[in-house]
Structure 1
Amino acid sequence: MQTPLPSLAELTESAHVVSLPMRVKFRGVTERETLILRGPAGWAEFGPFPEYDDGEASRWLSAAVEAGWQGFPQPLRNSVPVNATVPAVDAGRVPEVLSGFDGIPAVKVKVAEPGQELADDIARVRAVREVLPEAAVRVDANGGWSVEEALEALPALAEFGLEYAEQPVMTIDGLAQVRAELRRRGVPVLIAADESVRKETDPLLVSRSGAADLIVVKVAPLGGVRRALDIVASAGLPAVVSSALDSSVGIRAGVALAAALPELPYACGLGTVSLMNGDVTEDSLKPAGGAIEVRDVSVKPELLERYAASAERVDWWLERLARVHKVLSSSNTV
Structure 2
Amino acid sequence: MQSTPPLEQLLASAHVVSLPMRVKFRGVEVREAVLLDGPAGWAEFSPFTEYDDEESSRWLASAVEAGWLGHPEAVRSWIPVNATLPAVSAEQVPAVLGAYDGLHTVKIKVAEAGQTLADDAARVGAVRNLLPDAAIRVDANGGWSVPQAVSALRMLSVFGLEYAEQPVATIAEMAAVREALRGSVLIAADESVRKATDPLAVARAGAADLLVVKAAPLGGVRRALEIVAEAGLPAVVSSALDTSVGIGTGLALAAALPQLPYACGLGTVSLMAGDVATPSLVAVAGGMAVRDVVADPELLAHFAAPAERQQWWLERIRRCHALL
Is 1:326 the counterpart of 2:322? The answer is yes
Query: Structure 1 vs Structure 2: percent identity of aligned residues?
Result: 68
The separation in 2 between residues aligned to 1:274 and 1:163, in whole angstroms, is 22
Aligned to 1:141: 140
Cα-to-partner distance string for 1:75-116 (whole Å, 9 max, x where unaligned)? 111110000000000110000011011112200000000000
Secondary structure class of the residue paired with 2:150 = helix
Cα-to-partner distance string for 1:213-233 (whole Å, 9 max, x where unaligned)? 000000000000000000000
Is 1:9 the counterpart of 2:5? The answer is no
Cα-to-partner distance string for 1:192-238 (whole Å, 9 max, x where unaligned)? 00000011111000000000000000000000000000000000000
The separation in 2 between residues aligned to 1:298 and 1:45, in whole angstroms, is 11
Secondary structure class of the residue paired with 1:30 = strand
Secondary structure class of the residue paired with 2:181 = helix
What amino acid maps onto 1:126 in structure 2? G
What amino acid maps onto 1:13 in structure 2? A
State whether residues 41 and 294 of structure 2, in contact with CA within 8 Å, keep that contact through their aligned partners in structure 1: no
What amino acid maps onto 1:226 in structure 2? R
TM-score (norm 2): 0.99
The Cα shift of 1:151 comes to 1.1
Describe how 1:232-247 pairs up with structure 2 within 5 A.
232-247=228-243
The separation in 2 between residues aligned to 1:324 and 1:29, in whole angstroms, is 22
What amino acid maps onto 2:75 in structure 1? L
Secondary structure class of the residue paired with 1:327 = coil
The Cα shift of 1:182 comes to 1.2
Describe how 1:155-170 pairs up with structure 2 within 5 A.
155-170=154-169
Is 1:116 the counterpart of 2:112? The answer is no
What amino acid maps onto 1:285 in structure 2? L
Secondary structure class of the residue paired with 1:221 = helix
The separation in 2 between residues aligned to 1:78 and 1:314, in whole angstroms, is 35
* Partner of residue 193 from structure 2, selected from 190, 194, 197: 197
The separation in 2 between residues aligned to 1:235 and 1:80, in whole angstroms, is 22
Secondary structure class of the residue paired with 1:216 = strand
The Cα shift of 1:298 comes to 2.0
The separation in 2 between residues aligned to 1:290 and 1:74, in whole angstroms, is 23
TM-score (norm 1): 0.96
Describe how 1:93-132 pairs up with structure 2 within 5 A.
93-132=92-131
The separation in 1 between residues aligned to 2:234 and 2:312, in whole angstroms, is 38
The separation in 2 between residues aligned to 1:52 and 1:29, in whole angstroms, is 14
Aligned to 1:76: 75
The Cα shift of 1:152 comes to 1.1
Is 1:317 the counterpart of 2:313? The answer is yes
Aligned to 2:261: 265
The Cα shift of 1:74 comes to 1.0
Is 1:286 the counterpart of 2:285? The answer is no
Secondary structure class of the residue paired with 2:107 = strand
Aligned to 1:331: none
CA RMSD of aligned residues (A): 0.6
Aligned to 1:228: 224
Is 1:250 the counterpart of 2:246? The answer is yes
Aligned to 1:36: 35
The Cα shift of 1:283 comes to 0.7
Describe how 1:83-94 pairs up with structure 2 within 5 A.
83-94=82-93
Aligned to 2:180: 181
The separation in 2 between residues aligned to 1:27 and 1:81, in whole angstroms, is 24
Flag structure 1 segments of 5+ consecutive residues without an equivalent. Answer: 329-334
Flag structure 2 segments of 5+ consecutive residues without an equivalent. Answer: none
The Cα shift of 1:327 comes to 1.1
State whether residues 143 and 167 of structure 2, in contact with CA within 8 Å, keep that contact through their aligned partners in structure 1: yes
The separation in 1 between residues aligned to 2:115 and 2:300, in whole angstroms, is 36
State whether residues 104 and 291 of structure 1, in contact with CA within 8 Å, keep that contact through their aligned partners in structure 2: no
Aligned to 2:19: 20
* Partner of residue 296 from structure 2, selected from 283, 296, 300: 300
What amino acid maps onto 1:23 in structure 2? R
State whether residues 236 and 264 of structure 2, in contact with CA within 8 Å, keep that contact through their aligned partners in structure 1: yes
State whether residues 283 and 298 of structure 1, in contact with CA within 8 Å, keep that contact through their aligned partners in structure 2: no
The separation in 1 between residues aligned to 2:310 and 2:77, in whole angstroms, is 36
What amino acid maps onto 2:84 in structure 1? T
What amino acid maps onto 2:309 in structure 1? R
Is 1:61 the counterpart of 2:75? The answer is no
